[in-house]
Amino acid sequence: MQRNKDGEQKLFNQFGLFSLLIIFTATTLFAESFSDFKSVQHESFNHYKDQKDNEFNKYLKDQWREYQAYITPSFYKEEKPKEITPLRKKKSFDVGPVVKVNIPQREKIKTKIKTISGEVPKGTTIDFFGRVLSFNKDPKITSAQFYPQSQAGIANFFSILASSNYNTTLDEIYEYQKMMRLNDWGVYLLINKLAQATYGDKNEANIYAWFLFNKLSYDVKIALNENKNIYLLHYSKIRVYSKPRYTFHSKYYYILASYNKSEISKIYTYTQEYPNANKALDFSLDEIPLLAEHMSKKVLSFEEFATKYEIAFRYNKEIIAFMKTYPQVDYSVYFKAPMEEVTYQDLLVDLKKYIDGKKMSQALNFVLHFVQKAFKYERDQEQFGFEKVMFAEETLVYDASDCEDRAVLFSYLVEHIFGISALGIKYSDHMSTALYIPMKGDDIIYKRRRYVLADPTYINANIGQEIAKYRDIEPDSFIKLSKYK
């Protein structure tokens, strides 16, 4: 026996053989179709487009092993506070240089997505966040069947795909990725949409997606459970929370799709990597994708010493829909992600009215109070039924948010408007922020530098005022943004 870091691993001696009995018990009703299917398989074995597929197909037929899942924990060790008592209002000291807000000129981007033409007929069309995308399809692909429903059936399916005209589809995926500025998560969604549109059967769609991921050099394994359902295991260097995780050669692989907990307690798979498919799925969102533009407008407001302030902005519903699909990944992904340019510019235009010409401390506190008061405080469990970290743009759009959502938004605004370095400060049940500024108040030392605490959830608190509970507690972790040193 061998042992996996995330659970016990055993030899599954007869896996892949039990379903072969189906072949010999099939009725004459299916004899003709099965004969045709075997004929397609036999032809495929001898017409691989890539020689390495021949060796990999042989490996797929080798003995697989049993693995047990380790469910990664949620973000927090303890429940976040149900409510946070506001601080008594107090005016801040006016210190620092005078703020001058500069509004950058918006970049004009052509967002037209053209349909890619090709010689192979019978294409597949999908709706991808408001854009209609067309893919050419080799008719041979749809002849592939997950039959028998076993390890052998996966190998057979792979053989047909490997002999098809799949390069056309790969080129189309590359082209759409480039035109829509899709990150790896965008490619993940695109491939899954295409696979589901190509095959009505969920297992067959998963096999096709697995094949495409490997051909695009992503390190993805295919797994089968005892109920003959297929799952994909994606290698990621970025930690994913509340998902089944498996370890192979000290690398973490996750089931990212929806799953039944009882079904993934035992899965059967292999350790071998597809040749040259060693790319990790990177969840980083370095630029906003170019999706269809379905714009909406929102006005946020809050009161400060009997004065009401309003901040209006436009946002793209398709971008919010894209962000909503994200699994729970490492905080750094959310803190470092950009905001859509039109949304940020709209915010900046209105914020400029209130902070331009003010001392730095006044301007920072205005933005802090905006984030504290413009949204209802509500924990993720009450709002979504599960833990969810929002991108800065999502926090603006949703009516309610909790501590880490506000920390992400406030950090983004501080870094981009003022050019000030910010830290995410994570406790066992709360998240705050800290700024690298020469001001008095509650502080924290990070890498020999003094950061002044600024809590976007502590209503009415100014820069340098932290919730008493957390003043003398060592944080669990720090999230450092990379824009400023």
Q: Residue 162 has what pLDDT?
A: 94
Instruction: Give the pLDDT mean for 387-413.
Output: 95
Q: Is the pLDDT of residue 4 over 50?
A: no
Token readout for 29 is 């009703």
Give the separation between CA 129 and CA 318, rounded to whole angstroms. Answer: 6
Dump the DSSP string for 362-430: HHHHHHHHHHHHSSEE--HHHHTSS--PPPHHHHHHSSEE-HHHHHHHHHHHIIIII---EEEEE-SS-
Instruction: Give the pLDDT mean for 270-291.
Output: 95
Q: Residue 274 has what pLDDT?
A: 94
52 band by pLDDT with thresholds 50, 70 and 90: confident
Question: In a 3-state reduction of DSSP, which class is residue 124?
Answer: strand
Residues contacting residue 9 through CB under 8 Å, at least 6 positions apart: 1, 2, 3, 65, 66, 67, 68
Protein fold of 295-480: C8orf32 fold (3.10.620)
Put simply, whether the predicted model's pTM sits higher than 0.75 gets the answer yes
190 band by pLDDT with thresholds 50, 70 and 90: very high
Give the separation between CA 301 and CA 303, rounded to whole angstroms. Answer: 7
Q: Enumerate the domain spans of the chain.
A: 2-73+144-269, 295-480
What are the pLDDT digits (tens) for 84-138?
A: 999 988 887 789 899 999 888 776 655 555 444 444 334 799 999 999 999 998 8
Work out the number of other CB atoms within 10 angstroms of the CB of residue 261: 9
What are the pLDDT digits (tens) for 202-240?
A: 999 999 999 999 999 999 999 999 899 999 999 999 999
What is the average pLDDT score of the chain? 86
Work out the number of other CB atoms within 10 angstroms of the CB of residue 266: 17
Q: Is the pLDDT of residue 28 over 50?
A: no
